[in-house]
C-alpha cells in the first residue's frame, strides 16, 4: 500500500521507541531491558484502546530481531527483518487475535510451533492481542511454556480487560500499564500531524478532537483524518464545522439550558434542547455532556482553566463560575441523580428524545418545588421535621445505630379514631404488646414477644438490638401502626448494644426456674414417694 494512501493512524505509527507519545517511561524501560540483555519471557501491555499496546509489541519485535541491533534500530531505511515486521509478514513473528482463536486447540498448535527455532531471526515472537479472550483451558495449556520457554521464544500480550486474565498468567509476565495520553500532549501531536498533511483546521477544532478521543492516539488520528477529508481546503475548518461533523455542540447551549431550568422557563428550555437535537446530537451524548456541566458547576472554584481538558472556552468558564455562586450542592446532587436515572431509561424507551424532554421538565419542576419549600421555611422561620429529627437522635446517644425513618402518608389523610388516640399512652413494651393484641395485629405481637430485644423504651422512641430473626419489614410496619394508633411519629432504631431478652425468652427461663424450685420443695418430694411415676407438667400460681 502506498504510504500516501494510508489512513493517518497507520501512516504515522511509531517506528522507533522515541516516536511514542505519552508512554515515554514504558519505552525507556523496555529499551533498557533489551539493551542490557534482561529480556522477560513475556510482556503484558494493558490500557484503553489506541494508547500503543500493539505498536509497542511490534517495536519490541523489531528491536529483538533488527539486523542493526537496538542502538541503531531501523527508522527510515528498514532492514529486511524490520520491513517484514512492519508489513505483518515476518515468518518468525506471529500475530494472533485471541478474540477469534480462543480455544485450547489453538494454543496447543502455538506451543507445537514454538518447539522449532527461528528461521531467519534471533527470536521467535508470539504477539497475542486481546489475550483476555482466551478460554480457561487455553490459559492453563500456556502456563508451562510461558514460565520456562526456550531462549529464542518471547511472548507479548495485549489486553483491555486485565481483570479477566488469570493471576497465574499475570505472575509470569512483566506487566506495563499504558495510561491515556494527556490532552496537551495529544493536542500538540495532532497539530503537528495536521501541519504535515497541510490541514486547514483551527486550534479549537483540534481541541474538540482531543476531547472526543478521550486520550486515545488512534481515535484522535482517525477523527482528524475524517475532519480533513470533509474539508475542501479552501476555507479553514472551524469549531462549528467539526461539531457538525462529529455530532457535538457548543457548551454555551448547555449552559443556556441550565440557566432556563433554574429560572423555571419550560418553553425556552425545550426550544434550546430541540435546536441541539436537530443538529444530530444523540440523547445519550447530550445527557453525558449535561453530567459534565453539572460537575463543573459543583467544582468550578477548585479548577483552573488549564485543567479543563479543552471542554470550555474562557467565556463559558467565567459564566459557569458566576452562576455557580448562587447554587447549592443539594440541587446539583439531585440533578446529577436524575440525569443518571434518565441515562438508564434510554435503553427501555422507544423514543429517547421524548425521554430527555421529560427529564428537563422534571428538573424544572423539582427546582420550582424546592424554591417554594425554601421560601416557606424562611417565612415561617422553621425547618422541616426531617431536619430536626437528627439532633434529637444524637441527644439520645444512638451512636452505632442504624436508623430507619419511615415516610408515610400525611396525618390529614390518615383515618384514625381521634377519641381513641388522644388518650392512648404506651409507656413500656407490655403496653405495646397489649395494644397489638387489642388491635388484632397478631403478627406484630408475635414478633415483639419472640424476636425483639429491648434496649430502651420511652414515649416516641424505641431502641432495640439487632436480631436476624426479625422480619425485614418489621420496623416499617410497626412505625406505620404506631403513627396510626397514636397520631405521632415514633423513632425506632436498631442498636449494636445487647438488649434485654425477648418476652418469650424471659417467660421460658422464669418457668424453667420455677420448675426447678418446685421440684426441690418438700411437697413435691412427698408426692413422688406416693406416686413414683408422677411427672411435673405445668405450674399455675394461685392468687388470693
pLDDT tens digits along 132-153: 999 888 899 889 889 888 999 9
End-to-end Cα distance, the chain: 113
pLDDT-derived band at 304 (thresholds 50, 70, 90) equals low
Sign of CA dihedral 494, 499, 500, 502: positive
Q: Go through 151-176 and write b for each residue having 16 or more CB atoms within 10 A of its CB, e for each that does not.
A: ebbbbbbbbbeeeebeeebeebbeeb
What 3-state class would DSSP assign to 114?
Answer: helix
182-200 mean pLDDT: 90
Residue 384 has pLDDT above 50, yes or no: no
> Cell for 516?
426447678
- Residue 122's closest CA among 154, 74, 89, 147? 154
**Number of Cβ within a 10 Å radius of residue 79:** 16
Q: Flag whether pLDDT at 415 surpasses 70.
A: no
CB 297 within 8 A of CB 323: yes
- Domains of the chain in sequence order: 3-177 (3.40.50.300), 183-246 (1.10.8.60), 251-378 (1.20.272.10), 393-495 (no CATH)
pLDDT digits (tens, 9 = 90+) for 522-543: 877 777 777 777 777 777 765 4
C-alpha cell at 528: 413422688
3-state secondary structure of 146: helix
pTM exceeds 0.85, yes or no = no
Mean pLDDT of the chain: 80
Residues with Cβ within 8 Å of residue 495, at least 6 apart in sequence: 398, 400, 401, 455, 463, 464, 465, 466
> What's the CA gap between 81 and 102, in Å, rounded?
29
Distance (Å, whole) CA 493 – CA 489: 13
User: Can you tell me which residue has the cell 504535515?
Assistant: 196
pLDDT value, residue 389: 33
Closest CA to 102 of 54, 125, 136: 136
> How confident is the model at residue 390, as a pLDDT?
38
pLDDT digits (tens, 9 = 90+) for 423-448: 577 888 888 888 888 888 888 888 88
Burial class of residue 118 in the structure, from the number of CB atoms within 10 Å of its CB (0-12 exposed, 13-18 middle, 19+ buried): middle
CA atoms within 13 A on the CB side of 130: 11
Amino acid at each position: 500500500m502506498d504510504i500516501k494512501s494510508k489512513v493517518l493512524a497507520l501512516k504515522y505509527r511509531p517506528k522507533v521507541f522515541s516516536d511514542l507519545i505519552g508512554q515515554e517511561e514504558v519505552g525507556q524501560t523496555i529499551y533498557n531491558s533489551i539493551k542490557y540483555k534482561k529480556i522477560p519471557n513475556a510482556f503484558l501491555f494493558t490500557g484503553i484502546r489506541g494508547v500503543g499496546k500493539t505498536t509497542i509489541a511490534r517495536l519490541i519485535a523489531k528491536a529483538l530481531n533488527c539486523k542493526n541491533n537496538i542502538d541503531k534500530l531501523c527508522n527510515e531505511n528498514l532492514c529486511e527483518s524490520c520491513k517484514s515486521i512492519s508489513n505483518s509478514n515476518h515468518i518468525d513473528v506471529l500475530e494472533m487475535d485471541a478474540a477469534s482463536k480462543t480455544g485450547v486447540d489453538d494454543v496447543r498448535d502455538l506451543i507445537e510451533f514454538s518447539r522449532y527455532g527461528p528461521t531467519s531471526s534471533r527470536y521467535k515472537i508470539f504477539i497475542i492481542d486481546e489475550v483476555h479472550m482466551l478460554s480457561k483451558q487455553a490459559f492453563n495449556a500456556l502456563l508451562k511454556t510461558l514460565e520456562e520457554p526456550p531462549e529464542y521464544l518471547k511472548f507479548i500480550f495485549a489486553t483491555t480487560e486485565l481483570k479477566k486474565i488469570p493471576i497465574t498468567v499475570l505472575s509470569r509476565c512483566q506487566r506495563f500499564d499504558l495510561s491515556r495520553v494527556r490532552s496537551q500532549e495529544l493536542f500538540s501531536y495532532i497539530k503537528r500531524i495536521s501541519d504535515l498533511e497541510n490541514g486547514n483546521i483551527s486550534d479549537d477544532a483540534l481541541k474538540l478532537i482531543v476531547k472526543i478521543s478521550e486520550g486515545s492516539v488512534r481515535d484522535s488520528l482517525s477523527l482528524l483524518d475524517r475532519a480533513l477529508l470533509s474539508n475542501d481546503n479552501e476555507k479553514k475548518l472551524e469549531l462549528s464545522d467539526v461539531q457538525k461533523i462529529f455530532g457535538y455542540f457548543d457548551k454555551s447551549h448547555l449552559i443556556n439550558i441550565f440557566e432556563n431550568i433554574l429560572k423555571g422557563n419550560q418553553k425556552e428550555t425545550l426550544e434550546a434542547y430541540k435546536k441541539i437535537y436537530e443538529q444530530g446530537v444523540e440523547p445519550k451524548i447530550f445527557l453525558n455532556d449535561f453530567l459534565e456541566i453539572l460537575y463543573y458547576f459543583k467544582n468550578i472554584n477548585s479548577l483552573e482553566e488549564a485543567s479543563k481538558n479543552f471542554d470550555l472556552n474562557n467565556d463559558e468558564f467565567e459564566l459557569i463560575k458566576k452562576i455557580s455562586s448562587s447554587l447549592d450542592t443539594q440541587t446539583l446532587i439531585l440533578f446529577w441523580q436524575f440525569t443518571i436515572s434518565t441515562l438508564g431509561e434510554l435503553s427501555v424507551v422507544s423514543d429517547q428524545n421524548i425521554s430527555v424532554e421529560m427529564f428537563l421538565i422534571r428538573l424544572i419542576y423539582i427546582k420550582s418545588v424546592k424554591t417554594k419549600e425554601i421560601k416557606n421555611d424562611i417565612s415561617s422561620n422553621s425547618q422541616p421535621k426531617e431536619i430536626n429529627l437528627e439532633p434529637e437522635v444524637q441527644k439520645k446517644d444512638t451512636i452505632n445505630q442504624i436508623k430507619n425513618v419511615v415516610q408515610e402518608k400525611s396525618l390529614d389523610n390518615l383515618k384514625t379514631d381521634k377519641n381513641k388516640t388522644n388518650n392512648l399512652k404506651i409507656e413500656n413494651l407490655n403496653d405495646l404488646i397489649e395494644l397489638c393484641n387489642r388491635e388484632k395485629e397478631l403478627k406484630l405481637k408475635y414478633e415483639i414477644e419472640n424476636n425483639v430485644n429491648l434496649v430502651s423504651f420511652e414515649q416516641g422512641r424505641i431502641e432495640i438490638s439487632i436480631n436476624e430473626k426479625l422480619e425485614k419489614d418489621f420496623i416499617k410496619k410497626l412505625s406505620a401502626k404506631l403513627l396510626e394508633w397514636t397520631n405521632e411519629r415514633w423513632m425506632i432504631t436498631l442498636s449494636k448494644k445487647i438488649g434485654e431478652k425477648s418476652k418469650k425468652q424471659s417467660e421460658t427461663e422464669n418457668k424453667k426456674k420455677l420448675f426447678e424450685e418446685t421440684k426441690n420443695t418438700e411437697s413435691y418430694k412427698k408426692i413422688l414417694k406416693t406416686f413414683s411415676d408422677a411427672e411435673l407438667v405445668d405450674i399455675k400460681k394461685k392468687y388470693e
